[in-house]
Amino acid sequence: MLTLYTWGTPNGRKLSILLAELGLEHHVQPINILTGEQNTPAFRAINPNGKIPALVDSDGPDGQPISVFESAAIMIYLAEKHQRFLPASGAERYAVLQWLMFQMGGFGPMLGQAHHFLRFAPEPVPYAIERYRNEARRLYTVLDNQLAGRDYVAGDYSIADMALYPWATRHEWQEIDLADFPNVARWMATLAARPAVVKGMAEPA
């Protein structure tokens, strides 16, 4: 049995997309980050960092239960276990991993800062607004350039696409006009047409 501890955020939805693409039945345990459920002792026992998502697999390595936190680590775990969406070796594997890390190191946290300072900060902070607005545009430019002449970011459809897509769906929060990034817009339309992506983006209900 798989149990996904999650909430309706880009980091949560990337796991829901992967689980849907793999066709894996799983129990969804919502963790309401707005009311602080991520800080309860029960959840901290699964993820000491107190962040969603986290996964518990009752059939882990050697048949023993395992809990995994950090969204990229969970994606790699599931992709390797089921031998899909991450090449087993060679240059193709590292192409996927480097774009997954691009999401984890930049496209996620920097856009998250843009969300905060452009939408949620209690008072405007002009320096931060300018910094993260500019960094969002830079990151979209990197992604747009990578997608020129490619259907997906690292060759075949992979966990890297699944990780990047939920963050890109919040482009309006980041004050990004997709008309300026036509390759990103095309790629997003391709992913949005996949039934598993639609299903994953709706989880948790």
* Across 153-166, average pLDDT: 97
**The pLDDT value given to residue 205:** 82
**φ/ψ (deg, to 5) at 55:** -130, 135
**The pLDDT value given to residue 177:** 98
**The pLDDT value given to residue 180:** 98
Instruction: Please check the confidence at residue 175 and state whether its pLDDT lies above 90.
Output: yes
**The pLDDT value given to residue 62:** 86
Q: What is the CATH number of the domain that holds 118?
A: 1.20.1050.10
Residue 200 lies in a domain: no
Cα–Cα distance for residue pair 126/117, rounded to 1 Å: 9
Residue 201 lies in a domain: no
* Across 168-197, average pLDDT: 98
Residue 205 lies in a domain: no
**The pLDDT value given to residue 122:** 94
Q: How many domains does the chain have?
A: 2
Q: Which domain holds residue 127?
A: 90-194
Residue 204 lies in a domain: no
**The pLDDT value given to residue 25:** 97
Q: Which element (helix H / strand E) includes 99?
A: helix 90-102
**The pLDDT value given to residue 189:** 98
Q: What is the pLDDT of residues 126-151, one digit of tens each?
A: 999 999 999 999 999 999 999 999 99
Q: What is the pLDDT of residues 12-55, one digit of tens each?
A: 999 999 999 999 999 999 999 999 999 999 999 999 999 999 99
Q: Is the domain of 39 the same as that of 125? A: no
User: Per-residue b/e over 127-153, b at no fewer than 16 CB within 10 Å?
Assistant: eeeeebbebbbebbeebbebbeeeebb
Q: Is the domain of 103 the same as that of 188? A: yes
Mean pLDDT in the chain? 97
Q: What is the pLDDT of residues 101-126, one digit of tens each?
A: 999 999 999 999 999 999 999 999 99
Q: What is the CATH number of the domain that holds 79?
A: 3.40.30.10
Q: Is the domain of 59 the same as that of 124? A: no
Q: Is the domain of 96 the same as that of 13? A: no
Domain edge (last residue) among 85, 118, 153: 85
Cα–Cα distance for residue pair 152/10, rounded to 1 Å: 19
Cα–Cα distance for residue pair 43/2, rounded to 1 Å: 16
Residue 16 lies in a domain: yes
**The pLDDT value given to residue 119:** 93
Q: Is the domain of 6 the same as that of 65? A: yes
* Across 70-75, average pLDDT: 98
Instruction: Please check the confidence at residue 84 and state whether its pLDDT lies above 90.
Output: yes
